[in-house]
Amino acid sequence: MPYFVCARDGAGQIILKRDTREAAEKKAAELRDVGYFEVEIIAKAAEKAA
């Protein structure tokens, strides 16, 4: 299941994709440390082909 890390800074918003929850949490912490705000992790269920 992919995880998306969304964060904002003074210039705009970024969205980063990570494959594991642990990687998403690590990146979210790094973004907070460098000054991003409104940092959140969104889990998206994998879509199945018809």
pLDDT bucket at 49, cuts 50 / 70 / 90: low
- CA distances to 7, 26, 27, 28, 30 from 33, in Å: 12, 11, 10, 9, 5
pLDDT of residue 32: 97
- pLDDT tens across 25-45, in order? 999 999 999 999 999 999 987
Side-chain-side CA neighbours of residue 12 (13 Å): 2
pLDDT of residue 1: 85
- pLDDT tens across 5-15, in order? 999 999 999 99
Tokens of 2: 């992919």
